[in-house]
């Protein structure tokens, strides 16, 4: 008999032999403070419930080339931890961490949407009762520096900047671009 699948909303800390059918809606790689790389992702099930998932350095080699954003998977066996910290990526009270026995199988599941938006109710904004520790939505454009990920061009001859200088009649280098 095939094992019943679990839903993200039913995850608690009572069992770690979950069988989830999900879409990876966001996937990124970060360098930890001890200089190791780990993957983080947000997965979503067909009920549009989401949870934060970590893949630490020990398991990352196994999954880095396999997992793709927007693809759907059946996933088994995780460690479950409380979703604590200064900022949360999902409202779910727990987060999942891949272990050496986590199983992931790519499956075609078109019934799980690519994206699902959760807008804060305007009344909650006015009353200031929304979650301020939840990182969701669009953030302002900023300039950041990422180790091995950013490129800084100083006084580089870029056609777009040169065209702009010609349009405004500036012949000296413009600082601050």
Give 125-151 pLDDT, tens digit per residue: 777 776 665 655 444 444 454 554 545
Q: Which of 25, 8, 11, 32 is nearest to 136 (CA)?
A: 25
Burial class of residue 121 in the structure, from the number of CB atoms within 10 Å of its CB (0-12 exposed, 13-18 middle, 19+ buried): exposed
- Convert the pLDDT of each residue in 102-132 to its tens digit: 989 999 988 888 877 766 677 777 777 766 6
Answer whether 6's CB lies under 8 Å from 16's CB.
no
- Say which CATH number the domain at 113 has: 2.40.50.140
pLDDT > 90 in the chain, percent:
26
Instruction: Please report whether residue 157 resides in a domain.
Output: no
Instruction: Please report whether residue 159 resides in a domain.
Output: no
Give me the residue label for tokens 């019943």.
4
Record the pTM. 0.67
Instruction: Please report whether residue 161 resides in a domain.
Output: no
Instruction: Please report whether residue 169 resides in a domain.
Output: no
- Per the structure, the count of domains in the chain is 1
Instruction: Please report whether residue 43 resides in a domain.
Output: yes
Instruction: Please report whether residue 111 resides in a domain.
Output: yes
Instruction: Please report whether residue 150 resides in a domain.
Output: no
Instruction: Please report whether residue 76 resides in a domain.
Output: yes
| Domain range for 124 | 1-142
- Convert the pLDDT of each residue in 12-65 to its tens digit: 888 767 889 999 998 988 887 888 889 999 999 999 999 999 998 888 888 888
**How many Cβ atoms from other residues are within 10 Å of residue 26's Cβ?**
15
């Amino acid at each position: 008999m095939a094992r019943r699948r679990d839903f993200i909303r039913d995850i608690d800390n009572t069992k770690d032999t979950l069988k989830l059918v999900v879409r990876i809606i966001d996937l990124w790689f970060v360098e930890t403070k001890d200089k190791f790389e780990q993957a983080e992702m947000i997965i979503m099930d067909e009920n549009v419930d989401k949870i934060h998932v970590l893949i630490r350095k020990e398991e990352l080699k196994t999954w880095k080339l396999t997992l793709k954003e927007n693809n759907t998977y059946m996933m088994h066996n995780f460690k479950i931890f409380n979703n604590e910290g200064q900022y949360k990526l999902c409202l779910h009270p727990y987060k999942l961490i891949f272990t050496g026995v986590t199983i992931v199988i790519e499956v075609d599941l078109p019934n799980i949407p690519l994206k699902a938006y959760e807008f804060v109710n305007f009344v909650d904004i006015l009353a200031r009762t929304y979650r301020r520790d939840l990182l969701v939505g669009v953030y302002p454009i900023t300039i950041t520096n990422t180790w091995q990920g950013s490129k800084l061009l100083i006084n580089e001859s870029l056609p777009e900047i040169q065209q702009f200088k010609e349009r405004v009649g500036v012949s000296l280098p413009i600082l601050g671009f």
